[in-house]
Structure formats: structure tokens, C-alpha cells
Amino acid sequence: MLQQSPQLVLAGLTVGAGYALVALGIHIILRATRVINFAQGEFVIVGGLLAYTCVTVLHANVWLALAGATLAGFALGLFYERAVLRPAARGGELTATIATIGTVYVLLYGHALIWGSLPQPLPFFSGGERDAKWVIGGVEVAAQQVWVLALLALALLATYLFFDRTTYGKAIRAAANNPLGARLVGIDVDRARAVSVAIAVALAAYGGSIIGPITLVGGAAGVAIGIKGFVGAIVGGLESPVGCAAGGLLVGVIEKLLEGQFGYGVADPVVYSLLLAMLLVRPQGLFGVRGVARD
């Protein structure tokens, strides 16, 4: 166990990258619309499958596929906000929650209709049938793992810069914090919400495309990715973007360590129990501020 643990931590960070992007997306949508999007995990799978189609049908290289899937995710997010989230949010929180659960069904079984129910492999980003591997300090590091972590860092940085450094990003945050005030200063709040949701879905699609070569994409995996992403958001703090990203990575590491020690069947229920435990003990999360988590 102890000798394995650096290896498991690395594996955990790799799957955790997917959870981190899901958690961040949930955070962005929650902040913009006050709705928790249960379908975020399915968007990861749909994104990965879109990248798969770019590669196999359009014969694009992996980088174009990654860009294509991310853009397609953005468009899908715009549609999703307009067709589902916006009308559902008018009916109140329960209605919106139920509508996002309905979306899980549509996406989960919908992508099986298009791509089949078996998970599909994405090509490695470094090219080749087999991924390059190095042994560093006794830990075997695959090139794709390095790609995943680097591309995760890139996405997090881009998200941060957009929301914190650009005028439009700040306008979106203003619209989320105080819709009425934002309207008064001329911000199109509906559009800001739509763009927020689109960014969140694009992040999910991007996540599916970068972890796809390792985890394969498709099947019923989206449900677990979505819930573990939410666990990450709760662990880190649903109201804190940094917390969401860190929480997602942490959940990935915890999951892999548990799997290494007790096997696959035990890890999942324990991770889900972590959700209940966190909600009970520290609902604002590790990075959150008390008093804001339970509005």
C-alpha cells in the first residue's frame, strides 16, 4: 500500500481532473442560475464522445478534436440553458432540480443510441497506439497523465482569467451576484446566464476529451463522474471555485487510494458517504466560508 501510494495518488489526480472540471462547472452554473446541474457528468461523456467522432469520422487530430468537442460543448450548453434550465428555473428550485435529473436520462440513454453502450477509446495525445511512460522516483508516469494535469491547469487558468480579468467575465459575475443591479447598469442578465452555462458545459466536454484516452468514454460512467464531481464540490466548497477544483482532485485521490486498498466495490460507497459526512459536518466545504453554503 505504502509503496503503491504515490502511484495511486497520480492515478487519482488524473481521474480527479475530470471531477474537478465537473465540480467547477456545477459551481459556475449554480452561481449563475441557482440551480445544481445534475447532468454535468453526462456532459463529460458527451464531450468525450464528440471528440471520438471528430477523430474517427472526421479524421481530425486529437488537438482539433479537443477544440471541436469544447466548442460543441459550448453550443450544447447554450441550447441546454435556453431549452431546459431557463424555463425550469421559473418553476422554482424543485422543478429545476427535477428537470436536470430528466436531462441525465436523456443524455445517458441518448448517447448510447448514437454511439452505442460500450465505452470508446480516444487516441493518446502524444500519438501512437501505446502511451509513452517514464519511471520517475519509482513512480510510473504516463504521458497522457502529464497531458491531463497540464491541460487541467490550462483550463483552470483560462477560467480564472476570463471571470477575473476580462470585462465580460466580470459582468457575468455581477449578473450572478445581483441580477437586478446588473440589469440597471445595462448587463444582459439572460445572456450572461446562458454564457455561464455554456462555459460550464464546455469545461465538462473538455474534461471528457482529455481523460478519454485513459478512462475511455461512454456507457454509464457519466452518472458516477457527475456525482463524484459533486462530492468534490461539496468537499472543497460549492461556493468557492478553487475549492471545487481542489475538492474534485482530492476525491479522485481518495477514490484511487481506497480502490488500491479495498477494491473497486468499496471505494464508491465510501466516497458517497463522504458527501453525507461533509454535508453534515462542514457543509460549506474545506475552502468555503461558513454561513453561505445553505441558502
CB of 273 to another protein, least distance (A): 6
**Based on CB atoms, which residue is closest to another protein, 93 or 140?**
93
In angstroms, rounded to a whole number, what is the distance separating the alpha carbons of residues 49 and 253? Answer: 25
Tally DSSP H helices, then E strands, for the chain.
12, 2
CB of 110 to another protein, least distance (A): 5
**Based on CB atoms, which residue is closest to another protein, 113 or 184?**
113
CB of 176 to another protein, least distance (A): 16
**Based on CB atoms, which residue is closest to another protein, 119 or 123?**
119
In angstroms, rounded to a whole number, what is the distance separating the alpha carbons of residues 115 and 216? Answer: 13
Closest C-alpha among 37, 23, 31 to residue 248: 23
Buried b (16+ CB within 10 A) or exposed e, 4-29: ebeebbbbbbbbbbbbbbbbbbbbbb
**Based on CB atoms, which residue is closest to another protein, 33 or 144?**
33
**Based on CB atoms, which residue is closest to another protein, 36 or 171?**
36
**Based on CB atoms, which residue is closest to another protein, 43 or 230?**
230
CB of 130 to another protein, least distance (A): 32
- Confirm if 238 and 278 have CB atoms less than 8 A apart: no
CB of 140 to another protein, least distance (A): 29
CB of 224 to another protein, least distance (A): 9
The sign of the dihedral angle between the CA atoms of 92, 98, 99, 100 is positive
Residues that bind another protein (CB under 8 A): 35-36, 38, 84, 87-88, 91, 93-95, 97-99, 101-110, 112-113, 223, 227, 230-231, 234, 265-266, 268-269, 272-273, 275-276, 279-280, 283, 294
**Based on CB atoms, which residue is closest to another protein, 34 or 133?**
34
Give the cell for residue 108: 445517458
CB of 272 to another protein, least distance (A): 4
In angstroms, rounded to a whole number, what is the distance separating the alpha carbons of residues 76 and 263? Answer: 36
- Confirm if 96 and 35 have CB atoms less than 8 A apart: yes
CB of 277 to another protein, least distance (A): 10
- Confirm if 131 and 124 have CB atoms less than 8 A apart: yes
In angstroms, rounded to a whole number, what is the distance separating the alpha carbons of residues 19 and 148? Answer: 12
In angstroms, rounded to a whole number, what is the distance separating the alpha carbons of residues 232 and 19? Answer: 7
In angstroms, rounded to a whole number, what is the distance separating the alpha carbons of residues 16 and 45? Answer: 15
Give the cell for residue 48: 468525450
* CA dist list (Å): 275 to 31, 52, 227: 20, 32, 9
Length of the chain: 295
**Based on CB atoms, which residue is closest to another protein, 63 or 262?**
262
